[in-house]
Amino acid sequence: MEGWDNPKADVLRLVRNWLCDESNGQWVIIIDNADDSSVLFPLHNRLQVHGANNLSQAAEPLSDFLPQSLKGSILITSRNAELAYDLVESRANIVEVKPLDEGDALALLRKKLSFDANEKAVELLQALDYMPLAITQAAAYIEQRSPRMTISRYLDEVRRSDHDRARLLNKGFRDSRRDGRASNSIIATWQISFEHIRKDMPTAARLLSLMSLFDRQGIPESLLYNRYQRDEDGEADFEDDIYTLTSYSLVKMSADGKEFEMHRLVQFSTKKWLELYDELEGWREKYVRLMDDSYPAGHYENWTICRALFPHAQAAVGCRPTDAKAVMVWASVLFKAAWYASEMGKYDIAKEMDIGALQAREATLGLEHSDTLNSINSLGLVLKDQGNYEEAEAMHRRGLEGLEKTLGPEHLDTLISVSNLGLVLERQGKYEEAEAMHRRSLKGKEKVLGPKHPDTLISVSRLGSALESQGKYKEAEAMHRRSLKGHEKTLGPEHPDTLTSVSHLGSVLGRQGKYKEAEAMHRRSLKGYEKALRPEHPHTLTSVSHLGSVLSRQGKYKEAEAMHRQSLKGYEKVLGLEHPYTLTSVSNLGSVLSGQGKYKEAEAMHRRSLKGREKVLGPEHPHTLISVSDLESVLESQREYKEAEATHAHQHGLPSVDV
């Protein structure tokens, strides 16, 4: 399970169904390190924490996708006994994997050595607690230094290193899920290898030190060259250094030799040693500078690199240095990684990184530095995407005020801030103020960048949306067509900004009753988003919702209902139950149910939407008033005139009628 990041349900269903097909031969699935019950049973965990009322918020349990078939087998490894019991039908199917017995441990040692093990081998295995990783590391060390190093001499080394090993263990080398003896034995073998490498191959030891700061998997070869040597190292040879580390079983190499990985205990041992000997801070500074040099800004053209390096950028979060200059570099890494995380719809991760970067920049650069103000804007965008509109507006106003003062009203960063403020004002239903912001941003960008620049076209598109929200459909359509034409020419038909223009044009066409053209636009944007992003990205789900709405307007209720249920399920999972987008999806589903005469279910949807919008957006927001109207309509459809009259009175501030 390790390293899985929200697997796509449709792919998992396909795999499961294929495996269960009786026409296929015998198969075996191996699920390694299934320790986190929240991944396999998210529904169970959330019910324990939040109660049974939050069923719809729970992610679809990954355990549901495990195939049930007599044609194959599933092998699961886990350190979580309770989880193991939940996964199997009978406790008889659980096999406890204990430390190797003497015979198996001796067989492993002999397999790793090119010469016969002598009588001291059993004593060595006992000293290593029969732990496979410790045995592998010991054998690699002995093999590398043979014939001068023997099993007997290595055993003496293990016994001699008790003092330093105790100091390392006292630094917190513990893993509650593992046999306590593992820490002792593995750190003993690691320490012996590391100390000798430091003496004989100091550059290899420094390479291991640097690698311990990365995410432990997928460490790129390209990021290691010339990053760990000192001036006195002269012509250090990376190939020799990495060969040394792999030979001692401290590092593993991928099949193509371009990436490396470390066992978590080896990585942890290395960092604890660096901390014990006051070297960790220096390596943290090296690491964050390396990541700042390597991790690009979150522009679309950089997404491939950003995706590959993102786990290592996340690892940098825990590497904040103490030196002020290094802290600024650290903040830069977090700012760029948050940008990419936000583009991918990982808003919680982006928010954490943005807050870290902002706090660091405020402390080192001051409140009015342009980098600080850009971090404020970045955090404002994430808050907006999470549906926290009031907080987002406050951030954007603060950022805009600072940029106008620091850079001037016509600087590009200032104009971007104006546009971002307009965006969050529109989300709050402040359409006229939003339109004014977007017109100001557009006018400034046309002057600074020209009318055809992609950033200018973004302001064109946003102005079109603000106009559409006010019912100015003709002008809005013209804006969206201009934006789409420009983006297709400058960025290409599959760029996310182009797809946003496609979606916006589809929306305003649908508002004008041009349903066929609108449907084509929404199908195009949906297909593009699924390819460029992922099926559960908020932008993709928005296209699903828009397509459902235009299908509903054409009377294609069955397909429309399926679209709205898909978008609602996705929003609930990705954004939560009370996000404004989720509530819009609830409202849309209610409308299509009403169109099919399913009034009771439609009423439940509209009541939920109204209650949520009153809480999140306020009673006077245009979307809240739409929910009032929709509920009134569905009640009238059920001929519940008295309650409909009461709802109407509530909407218009009239005296209510008892029901």
pLDDT tens profile 211-248 = 999 999 999 999 998 889 887 766 668 999 999 999 88
- The closest of 362, 184, 157 to 269, measured between CA atoms, is 184
Please report the DSSP string for 238-298 in residue order.
Answer: HHHHHHHHHHTTSSEE-TTSSEEE--HHHHHHHHHHHHHTT-HHHHHHHHHHHHHHHPPP-
User: How many Å apart are CA 479 and CA 459, to the nearest integer?
Assistant: 9
pLDDT value of position 346: 93
User: How many Å apart are CA 628 and CA 635, to the nearest integer?
Assistant: 11
- The closest of 349, 391, 209, 348 to 284, measured between CA atoms, is 209
Q: How confident is the model at residue 39 (pLDDT cuts 50, 70, 90)?
A: low
Which is higher by pLDDT, 156 or 378? Answer: 378
Which is higher by pLDDT, 569 or 183? Answer: 569
| Residue 102 pLDDT greater than 70, yes or no | yes
Q: Note the pLDDT tens digit of each residue in 486-516.
A: 999 999 999 999 999 999 999 999 999 999 9
pLDDT value of position 178: 46
pLDDT value of position 21: 57
What share of the chain has pLDDT > 70, as a percent? 80
Greatest Cα pair distance in the chain:
97
Which of 190-194, 523-527, 531-535 has the lowest average pLDDT?
A: 190-194
Q: How confident is the model at residue 7 (pLDDT cuts 50, 70, 90)?
A: very low
pLDDT value of position 61: 60
Which is higher by pLDDT, 139 or 378? Answer: 378
Pairing of the two strands 259-261 and 252-253: antiparallel
CATH number of the domain located at residue range(s) 558-652 in this protein: 1.25.40.10
Q: How large is the average pLDDT for residues 352-372?
A: 96
User: How many Å apart are CA 251 and CA 224, to the nearest integer?
Assistant: 13
pLDDT value of position 190: 84
Annotated domain spans of the chain: 9-93, 100-278, 297-366, 558-652
| Residue 423 pLDDT greater than 70, yes or no | yes
Q: How confident is the model at residue 38 (pLDDT cuts 50, 70, 90)?
A: low
Contacts of 96 (CB under 8 A, 6+ apart): none
Give the other-Cβ count within 10 Å of 484's Cβ. 25
Q: How confident is the model at residue 191 (pLDDT cuts 50, 70, 90)?
A: confident
pLDDT value of position 68: 65
User: How many Å apart are CA 498 and CA 260, to the nearest integer?
Assistant: 38
Q: How confident is the model at residue 659 (pLDDT cuts 50, 70, 90)?
A: very low
pLDDT value of position 60: 57
pLDDT value of position 80: 61
